[in-house]
Structure 1
Amino acid sequence: MRYFIQFSYFGKAYHGWQNQPNAITVQEVLEKALSTLLREKTEVVGAGRTDTGVHAKQMFAHFDHVGIQDRDELVYRLNSFLPEDIAVQKIYEMIPSAHARFDAFERTYEYWVVREKNPFYFDHAHLVKYPLDMKAMNEAATLLLDHKDFECFSKSNTDVKTYVCDVRKAYWEEHGNLWVFTITADRFLRNMVRAVVGTLLEVGLGKMAPEDIHSVIESKDRSEAGVSVPAKGLYLTEVLYPKELFDEQN
């Protein structure tokens, strides 16, 4: 039977989601825990991959098993077994064809920028001390929705077949000294959100006009966009699936 597992993690200690040789990843730790508790080798397929140091408030993965008698009990046992920086919220019984990556139709990320030194945000947000123009950054963010090809924000030498993404929301909000950028799309390229934020900060610092976003994107040149901001401020916050994928027992 196929199951979806919903979980979250703080990514500081991990080299991203996806398994890598000679580097600890979230996928490796989760597979080890499931394999131990289910008493058979269990592989998981994630909704996507996050880079080294990136966090996830909501992540999904699927795995197959002959049958789980008590899913709530397994959630409890997993949380007792997993390290403190990974937490499981729920396990869903799915239709057999459900796929955690390919069936996800929308993903949302947040990027946190803190405006003054704060020890409680040291590992959680990117510190920008200089004055920022939020109005200009929001004007530039809105212009992202006019485009589809985001090659200029993609990490070089990636193996993607297309740079097309359907960006549906992009905006900044102020929460006191914490400024949060939210972006929603059907998919994201590697390093895309961090490069987008770096470019929007260039606008906020007055080094680029909001309308310059058009020429940056149309250039398809990574060197035309801003530098990538640190991974520690990036959070995957939501992954959405069609409701019909979920078994009635959920």
Structure 2
Amino acid sequence: MRALLTCSYNGTHFLGSQTQSETKNTVFGQIEHVLNEINITSKPQPSGRTDKGVHASGQTFHIDLPEFWTDLKKLKRILNEMLPNSIKILTIKEVDEEFHARYSAKSRVYRYLIKTTYSNPFEDDFISFYKDVNFEEIQKKMPVFVGEYDFKQFMKTGSDTGSTVREIYRSFAYKHKGLIVLNFEANGFLRSQIRLMVGALLKLSESEIKEQLECTKQHKIKPALANGLYLAKIKY
């Protein structure tokens, strides 16, 4: 049986989500270890990867279950008992054998959380604190990203990808309970693309962002902090 699992995680103390041979201190390193403990040897296939310090409220992955694992409610309970508290399995459901968590995805939704007050120890791992952020200006600039562009100037050096062209379907900002929330939905994202997009929103004018998108001029930008970024949802 092929199963699709949805999970959330606090990425603060993990070295990213992707399994690494030299350490188990990654999100899927922990998940794979627990799966092996209950005799599920299928390697989890995630919808994508997140960097060190990035969180998820709706990450997905698929696995192929052995014949003796038919009770999905029991499997969810056992996984949540064995996984660290920073990782939570939200749902498990059966899918077609041809389904792939990454390649079957139609879009991916990320959110970035900003607060303009002073940072504090209770929120610092989960919200990026930037003073002097003008919400109205950010809100006005957000739609500039919508469309299909070559995002090679919004990509971390060393990214392993066949194409740097991506299509942004939605890009907007809103306020929620004292937070500025930046919402991005696309067919896919390059490594650190969203953090560099947020960095551009914080530093560049709308015309400068357009120059960067159209690859007519490159402006120096720093990626925004990782702690405010969440993989929110994978749409199938």
In the TM superposition, 1:43-82 aligns within 5 A as 43-67=43-67, 68-82=69-83
CA RMSD of the aligned region, Å?
A: 1.6
1:22, distance to aligned residue in structure 2 (A): 2.5
After superposition, what is the alpha-carbon deviation per residue over 1:121-180, rounded to whole angstroms, capped at 9, x for unaligned?
A: 111111112x22222212221111144211111111222111111101111112243111
Distance in 1 between residues matched to 2:46 and 2:148, nearest whole Å: 27
Give the match's secondary structure for 1:21.
Answer: coil
TM-score, normalization: structure 2? 0.93
Between structures 1 and 2, the one with greater helix share: 1
Could you list the runs of 5+ residues in structure 1 that have no partner in the other structure?
203-207, 242-250
Whether contact under 8 Å (2:54, 2:226) holds in the other structure is yes
2:130 is matched with: 128
Distance in 1 between residues matched to 2:194 and 2:40, nearest whole Å: 37
Q: Report how many residues are paired.
A: 233
1:218, distance to aligned residue in structure 2 (A): 1.8
Kindly tell me: are residues 138 and 147 of structure 1, through their superposed partners in 2, closer, same or farther at Cα, counting changes over 3 Å? Answer: farther
In the TM superposition, 1:11-22 aligns within 5 A as 11-22=11-22
Distance in 2 between residues matched to 1:149 and 1:110, nearest whole Å: 21
Distance in 2 between residues matched to 1:212 and 1:139, nearest whole Å: 14
Distance in 1 between residues matched to 2:71 and 2:46, nearest whole Å: 22
1:69, distance to aligned residue in structure 2 (A): 2.1
1:225, distance to aligned residue in structure 2 (A): 4.8
Could you list the runs of 5+ residues in structure 2 that have no partner in the other structure?
none
1:47, distance to aligned residue in structure 2 (A): 0.4
Moved >3 Å (runs of 4+): none
Give the match's secondary structure for 1:92.
Answer: strand
1:114 aligns with 2:115: yes
Between structures 1 and 2, the one with greater strand share: 2
Percent identity between matched residues is 30
In the TM superposition, 1:162-181 aligns within 5 A as 162-181=163-182
